[in-house]
Structure 1
Amino acid sequence: MRLISATALLQAGIIFLMPSLLVAQVKDETATAPGEAPNAELARRPFGQFVTIGNQVDDQLVSQLTNLTRELQTRAVREKRQAILVLEISAGSSRQGQIHDLAKVLVSPELSNVRTVAWIPKTLDGNHVILALACHDIFMHPNAALGDIGRGTALSNVEQNFVLDIIDRGRNLRMSRAIAKAMMDPASAVMRVSLEDRDGKVRQQFLTATELRELQNQNVVISQTDTVKDPGQPGLFKGSEAASSGFLVAATPANRNEVVATLNLPLEAMREAGSNDAKVVARVIAINNVIDKLLADFVQRETQHAVADGANMIIYDIDCPGGDKEHSQHVASVIAELDPAKVTTVAWARKEATQAGALVAISCDRIFLADDATIGNIDLKTMRLNRGHRLAPADVAPEELQRLLTLTDSIARRKNRSISLIRAMADPSLPVFEVTQKESGRVAWMNELELAAQPDEWVKGAAIPEAGGGKLLVLTAQRAEELGLTEAPCHDLEQLRTRLGIGATADLRPASKTWVDNLVTVLNSGLAGFLLIVIGLICIYLEMHMPSGLFVIGAVTSFSLFFWSRFLGGSAGGLELILFILGMSMLGIEIFVIPGFGVFGVSGILMTVVSLVMASNTFSGMTATESFEQSMGSLGSLAAALMVVILVAAVLNRFLPSIPFINRLILTPPGYAANDPEGLQLKPSLLSRTTVSGPISVGMVGTTASSLRPTGKAMFGDKYVDVVSDGAYIDHGTKIEVIRLAGNRIIVRSANEATEA
């Protein structure tokens, strides 16, 4: 008869003594000896590092983690402290070879001073589960589940033996072979057995059905047997249930902040270790005034440019006492939505991060305050501006406050910060209490509603004096660190450079707003864009009727300013400019080269309109409905601009001949009479033109040989000549009159119009 392994018995014997073992161990490691200074306690505090393992484990990640674990081990030995490596593991479908290689790295005996912790925020199945089983401890969200390595099918014997070898090393004392077998084979059952020893003490084991029968054959006293997993079901175990039953899971934190608090790590440990760590490319953006539209656009523009330039860290240098509520919330959303795996955002408050400044600060991944700086007081009543000037405080509508609280709650969850503390900065009626978790002794800060949702898990303590009672939460640098909102204060930028690991030669001069930024913001407004389009089209119209080159310069300048401002504003790129140039080129070909109006004309108009609509909007992050509404708004603006141009053209066509100076640019106005001594007289050389078909002069009458739309063919005598109508459509076979000669163009109009005039 095969006996149960000694390792399995050892694991099962102590498995129910483990719920608070990890916390107790951390406390013992950081406890201060009698007479020892607090700084000595801080020096013995463990240090840690987070690493996210996504849906694909490749050779590069294995190499990166191998180097990282060696660095942690070396530092732990040098500083005589424990290193903790936290792996946030997501489900994936990596190759078996890479999973095995990484698991071997994690269980290497060389890492004697590195404790590995698997953090499972969401349900995890597949072969990535093996990485969690290779760690010393497993932290799971209460609602997450872990297991089902084969995803409904049993693993091969070779694969099962590899996993069982990891379990037999005894790294995770809450793990047993029976639980591992259930994860690898749906046909395996798991029984929880209560055993009574000779002294009457009861201990529990987790066994397979085969192991249970073997135990029964040994005449061991079994007081109770429960089924944890039936055969045929996937071996997937929920975090809260596993923790309450005392197996697999060491703790059930809800977010990274709670993981850090449970492990007694500094907040700096939450910074991701990635391929960018070897070279920090930092950019500094100054927010040193009230946040109005100009500053909000500047911050968004500089943030986009920093990301596009390859920066993996953006430092927001904040000295901001207030701002407009709408623009401040927009800036906070832009910063909060940056991918922390690619760009680390850092808030650095020299003096004041209150009101709008606090909203920006809490949106960053890391917050550093100067020694005398404060943070908090997000007061909507005073966050009111008009053209950069503060308005008097005004009452806040409940829906406005709720919209702000929804945003702050979302940011707090995204950045793993206390929701209650952040809410208390905006809600003066919200008291916040210090609470203690019953099982682990971890301290947190919650409001009444949060406590009511989990009454059996937390012990309510005293309310913090800074919040509630009609006052908004405002914290000093030291107090904010105590409450876990910020990291340890920094004296100056050089100390911040050191803390962030930025090279001594890196340029940290902040990007500040200039007159160019103000100009770009003004030009990006709807009214400015409308006027630029109107001016550009009018200049084109004038150039076609009065060729001088001056109006070409005006049109080019107007459209250049339009696309330049949109490019810097982030709504236009190379595609929009190329479409516009192609569209205008096709229109030029249609007007000056190809008679009639066809494919080139229609294509040119469509390209021009599409380019202007695309350049006027940023569609990223919008729903289909929002994108459609934005497009319709831009089309409406273009239609309005075209109507204005038509109106202005009609006015100019009527009054241009009588406008001083301008009338000298006109070759021959409509209604010109050659024999009128009082009328406008032209140089004789301008009244006629010799073409390949013979002489053509102003006043000659001919017949259209094709439709004029507006270009086409006309017959003068027995000669065919290319002509251009003065704007109106003229049908085939209509009598026409030459009204002026412009360069190589012969401009005509219907003879009927001339008779009526």
Structure 2
Amino acid sequence: MRCHSATALPLVGMTLLLPLLAFAQESAGTTASVQAQQVELARKPFGQFVTIGKQVDDQLVSQITNLTRKLQTRAVGEQRQAILVLEISTGSSRQGQIDDLAKLLVSPELSNVRTVAWIPKSLEGNHVILALACHDIFMPPAAVLGDIGRGTALSNVEQNFVLDIVDRSRNRRMSRAIVKAMMDPASTVMRVSREDGEGKTRQQFLTAAELRDLQNQEVVISQTDTIKDPGQPGLFKGSEAASSGFLVAATPANRNEVVATLNLPLEAMREVGSGEAKVVVRVIAIDNVIDKLLADFVQRETQNAMASKANLIIYEIDSPSGDKDYAQHLAALIAELDPAKVTTVAWVRKEATQAGALVALSCDRIFLSDDATIGNIDLKAMRLNRGQQLDPVGEMVPEDLQKLLTLTDAIAQRKNRSASLIRAMADPTQPVFEVTQQESGRVAWMNELELAAQPEKWIKGQAIPETRDGNLLVLTAKRGEELGLTEPPCRDLEQLRTRLGIAPTADLRPASKTWVDNLVTGLNSGLAGFLLITIGITCIYLEMHLPSGLFLIGAVTSFSLFFWSRFLGGSAGGLELTLFILGMALLGLEIFVIPGFGVFGVSGILMTIVSLVMASNTFSGMSATESFEQSMSSLGSLAAAMMVVIVVAAVLNRFLPSIPFINRLILTPPGYAEPDGEGLHLKPSLLSPVTFSGPISLGMIGMTSSSLRPTGKAMFGDKYVDVVSDGAYIDHGTKIEVIRLVGNRIIVRSADEATEA
């Protein structure tokens, strides 16, 4: 027994020690993994984008100067490389500011700052000097660079300055001959292949004079090509320069590819000015289903934010679905906002799927909470189309899917995101693969169509798991960050505040719908617009017959509500209101001032109709067919309103004089007393003539040229005169008889009534 016990003790000890050893090994492995991540983070460069627009001024030069000093200090302190990316556009700045900024970029004080010129579009003029002062130049394959003098040669002083900048820029792909060609159209550039001392072939770019000097030195030249003839502007294409190994270091298509090529974090794409300038932020809540009410509210709040000079709009999203057309319209509206004026941020608290995902992807930056998801833009699940039920579940019109994919492609291009990943959220037939560029080793994600269209050589990898088996792509916060579609997740709104550099005192309470928004949306409906127009025109008609002022107030109220709701709804503005007021003014002139009905009346009617149609529709984002259909729908509603007014007018004209109390509101001509119905009356022909200074006499028969309410116009022979009805309404084109002459007033009544009398 003792022997067994002695043997068992070591075994028990070994059994107890094994878990401890395993835990120690696991802890050591975890520590080593953390340390490896820290080392990798330390090696990864950091950077900053700065946009140089059409004008370089002293403020921009000072701003970039301060930024480069901060980058240099941080790079030295963290022992990492700093990268300053200048996005340069064509402009016409003063040469002094260009020279100062170019000197700064080649300063030896920026030894730890790598400068990169990113040229998204073709660049000409003196802004090219800034690109030449950088360490590297990135530009799309189709863009061109050069022609500093815009067709004219620079002076010798200016050329010497630029050449000095180029010599100090440390761009190994730069050639003085190429730069001279950019400054002088008369210059010639030759590409020369020669052998060096070791027998290896070297490529040089020389001017004609430099080539002659080389030939005089009896250097062996194997090949000579002319890449720029004299008299042509010195413009060089990105793809040709990159393939020939001069001037251009890389040919990315957008900012995302620039960031990937430089191995920078996504935060680097945030502009330098956004953190230093005052951040004016607005938060807009997008909760639940995106229907017309919510879409109209978000559109109004976005317009209000832009009007209040907000430079940061946060859309707080928690939306599972919505109306497909309203969601697409809202996504297009947000995507088209100018990023130079405002930065849009999608903050997904829990879910952004279907319509919610489409709106989130249209923003400049996307942040998800730790447990949020984004994706699954399923048209079959978006059951509404402008408030109308779609076809039965399971059926999908190909045109609708193509329209959606066209929008997602446009959003991806505008926001520099992977078009294949966004397409995979809407189309389950297009799986996405992880691909690697052979030359640079850069990793990207493409579908089969995008991979086949790329001119570069990519190594196709495995399909990402989320797009296998015909599933629509849905991403978590962590997975979205890994695929470069979203930014690192945030715990809550306060962490998002820190990430965006928003002041602690800034109000981040989201704007949400109120009863006013519901009222405006209700008034913007087609039925409400039809009723308001009908009531407004009817009130105008009644006011002309019963001038009490009450109906005028009703007309003004109806049309005010119509244009107010359209103005807040975004379909009407100052132009529509001006046309309506001008049209009504012309109609008033035609009825009460100018005889007959001509140019003023027709112009007034047309202006009124055009203003009402324009105010009833938002034509932005619609095709020509859709705009025509909307216009016809509005004209139909307006025609229906006019038909209702005509019917009401006919009924009122027939029964108005016999309605108690109302008949007393009809105007009686001055000087005319209502006769007693029981008394005897003389025939007008028996009355003695009354002197009247004019060609009109008692008993004359004429024809009304306008409606008499009670005043109007009439024709007696070839005479066109003002007349006054004896009290009743007389329609246009009715035979009338003169029954009284009071001063200069001609009092008439219908000839039919005179015959009966």
TM-score class normalised by the smaller sequence: 0.7 to 0.9
Given residue 103 of structure 1, which amino acid in structure 2 is its aligned partner? A
CA separation of 1:542 and 1:734: change in aligned 2, threshold 3 A: closer
Kept after mapping to 2: 8 A contact 1:54/1:91: yes
Q: Which residue of 1 aligns with 2:530?
A: 530
Q: Which residue of 1 aligns with 2:310?
A: 311
> CA separation in 2, counterparts of 1:594 and 1:152?
62
CA separation of 1:250 and 1:756: change in aligned 2, threshold 3 A: farther
CA separation of 1:737 and 1:585: change in aligned 2, threshold 3 A: farther
CA separation of 1:390 and 1:610: change in aligned 2, threshold 3 A: closer
Q: Match of 2:660, SS? A: helix
Kept after mapping to 2: 8 A contact 1:424/1:468: no
Q: Match of 1:650, SS? A: helix
Q: Which residue of 1 aligns with 2:99?
A: 100
Kept after mapping to 2: 8 A contact 1:284/1:316: yes
* Worse overlay, 127-136 or 44-53: 44-53
Q: Which residue of 2 aligns with 1:458?
A: 458
What residue ranges of structure 2 are gaps of 5+ in the alignment? 1-30, 668-672, 679-690, 693-697, 716-720
Matches within 5 A, 1:54-453: 54-77=53-76, 79-274=78-273, 277-385=276-384, 393-453=393-453
Kept after mapping to 2: 8 A contact 1:140/1:252: yes
Supply the RMSD in Å over aligned alpha carbons. 3.7
Q: Match of 1:164, SS? A: helix
Q: Match of 1:143, SS? A: coil
Residue 663 (str. 1) matches residue 689 (str. 2): no
- C-alpha displacement at 1:553, in angstroms? 3.4
- C-alpha displacement at 1:88, in angstroms? 2.0
- C-alpha displacement at 1:255, in angstroms? 1.4
> CA separation in 2, counterparts of 1:667 and 1:537?
23
Q: Deviations over 1:516-573 (max 9, x none)?
A: 2122122112322121011111122223333444433322321121111011112223
- C-alpha displacement at 1:458, in angstroms? 1.1
> CA separation in 2, counterparts of 1:456 and 1:708?
78
- C-alpha displacement at 1:502, in angstroms? 1.3
CA separation of 1:429 and 1:588: change in aligned 2, threshold 3 A: closer
CA separation of 1:387 and 1:97: change in aligned 2, threshold 3 A: closer
Q: Deviations over 1:153-208 (max 9, x none)?
A: 43221121111101111421111212212222333333344444444444433333
Q: Which residue of 2 aligns with 1:560?
A: 560
CA separation of 1:516 and 1:35: change in aligned 2, threshold 3 A: closer
> CA separation in 2, counterparts of 1:262 and 1:603?
62
CA separation of 1:355 and 1:614: change in aligned 2, threshold 3 A: closer
Q: How many residues align?
A: 691
Q: Which residue of 1 aligns with 2:737?
A: 735
* Worse overlay, 238-247 or 127-136: 238-247
Q: Which residue of 1 aligns with 2:28?
A: none
**Higher-RCO chain (CA-CA 8 Å, sequence separation at least 6):** 1
What residue ranges of structure 1 are gaps of 5+ in the alignment? 1-31, 678-692, 695-699, 739-744
> CA separation in 1, counterparts of 2:176 and 2:506?
52
- C-alpha displacement at 1:232, in angstroms? 4.3
Kept after mapping to 1: 8 A contact 2:177/2:189: yes
- C-alpha displacement at 1:325, in angstroms? 1.4
- C-alpha displacement at 1:356, in angstroms? 0.8
> CA separation in 2, counterparts of 1:217 and 1:248?
27
Q: Match of 1:172, SS? A: coil
CA separation of 1:703 and 1:43: change in aligned 2, threshold 3 A: farther
- C-alpha displacement at 1:601, in angstroms? 5.7
Given residue 731 of structure 2, which amino acid in structure 1 is its aligned partner? A
> CA separation in 2, counterparts of 1:640 and 1:199?
91
> CA separation in 2, counterparts of 1:35 and 1:296?
46
> CA separation in 1, counterparts of 2:284 and 2:203?
58
Kept after mapping to 1: 8 A contact 2:191/2:203: yes
- C-alpha displacement at 1:387, in angstroms? 8.3
CA separation of 1:596 and 1:663: change in aligned 2, threshold 3 A: farther
CA separation of 1:156 and 1:621: change in aligned 2, threshold 3 A: farther
- C-alpha displacement at 1:346, in angstroms? 0.8
* Worse overlay, 109-118 or 515-524: 109-118
> CA separation in 2, counterparts of 1:34 and 1:194?
50
> CA separation in 2, counterparts of 1:631 and 1:449?
38
Matches within 5 A, 1:708-747: 709-710=707-708, 711-712=711-712, 723-724=724-725, 726-729=729-732, 734-735=736-737
Kept after mapping to 1: 8 A contact 2:548/2:665: no
- C-alpha displacement at 1:267, in angstroms? 1.5
> CA separation in 1, counterparts of 2:722 and 2:233?
87
Q: Deviations over 1:453-497 (max 9, x none)?
A: 336521111111111421001111001000000111011111111
> CA separation in 1, counterparts of 2:316 and 2:95?
46
Q: Deviations over 1:625-670 (max 9, x none)?
A: 9877766654554343222201111122334467xxx633222899
What is the TM-score of this pair, normalised by structure 1? 0.82
> CA separation in 2, counterparts of 1:617 and 1:552?
27
CA separation of 1:462 and 1:721: change in aligned 2, threshold 3 A: closer
What is the TM-score of this pair, normalised by structure 2? 0.82
CA separation of 1:621 and 1:96: change in aligned 2, threshold 3 A: farther
Q: Which residue of 2 aligns with 1:490?
A: 490
* Worse overlay, 361-370 or 520-529: 520-529
Q: Which residue of 1 aligns with 2:7?
A: none
> CA separation in 1, counterparts of 2:641 and 2:628?
20
> CA separation in 2, counterparts of 1:257 and 1:500?
19
CA separation of 1:560 and 1:737: change in aligned 2, threshold 3 A: farther
Percent of pairs with identical residues: 79
Q: Match of 2:470, SS? A: coil
- C-alpha displacement at 1:141, in angstroms? 0.9
Q: Match of 2:259, SS? A: helix
> CA separation in 1, counterparts of 2:118 and 2:98?
17
> CA separation in 2, counterparts of 1:754 and 1:105?
100
Kept after mapping to 2: 8 A contact 1:704/1:714: yes
Kept after mapping to 1: 8 A contact 2:738/2:746: no
Kept after mapping to 2: 8 A contact 1:347/1:364: yes
- C-alpha displacement at 1:222, in angstroms? 4.6
> CA separation in 1, counterparts of 2:456 and 2:577?
62
* Worse overlay, 260-269 or 64-73: 64-73
CA separation of 1:736 and 1:48: change in aligned 2, threshold 3 A: farther
- C-alpha displacement at 1:753, in angstroms? 4.6
- C-alpha displacement at 1:606, in angstroms? 5.3
Q: Match of 2:544, SS? A: helix
Q: Deviations over 1:46-84 (max 9, x none)?
A: 222223333443444434433443444444455544332
CA separation of 1:232 and 1:576: change in aligned 2, threshold 3 A: closer
> CA separation in 2, counterparts of 1:746 and 1:272?
79
> CA separation in 2, counterparts of 1:413 and 1:472?
21
Given residue 728 of structure 1, which amino acid in structure 2 is its aligned partner? D
- C-alpha displacement at 1:620, in angstroms? 5.6
Given residue 405 of structure 2, which amino acid in structure 1 is its aligned partner? L
Given residue 729 of structure 1, which amino acid in structure 2 is its aligned partner? H
CA separation of 1:123 and 1:339: change in aligned 2, threshold 3 A: same
Kept after mapping to 2: 8 A contact 1:276/1:312: no
Kept after mapping to 1: 8 A contact 2:704/2:732: no
Kept after mapping to 1: 8 A contact 2:189/2:228: yes
CA separation of 1:281 and 1:734: change in aligned 2, threshold 3 A: same
**Which protein is bigger by CA-based radius of gyration?**
2
CA separation of 1:727 and 1:116: change in aligned 2, threshold 3 A: farther
Q: Match of 1:508, SS? A: coil
Q: Which residue of 1 aligns with 2:4?
A: none
> CA separation in 2, counterparts of 1:184 and 1:241?
19
CA separation of 1:195 and 1:224: change in aligned 2, threshold 3 A: same
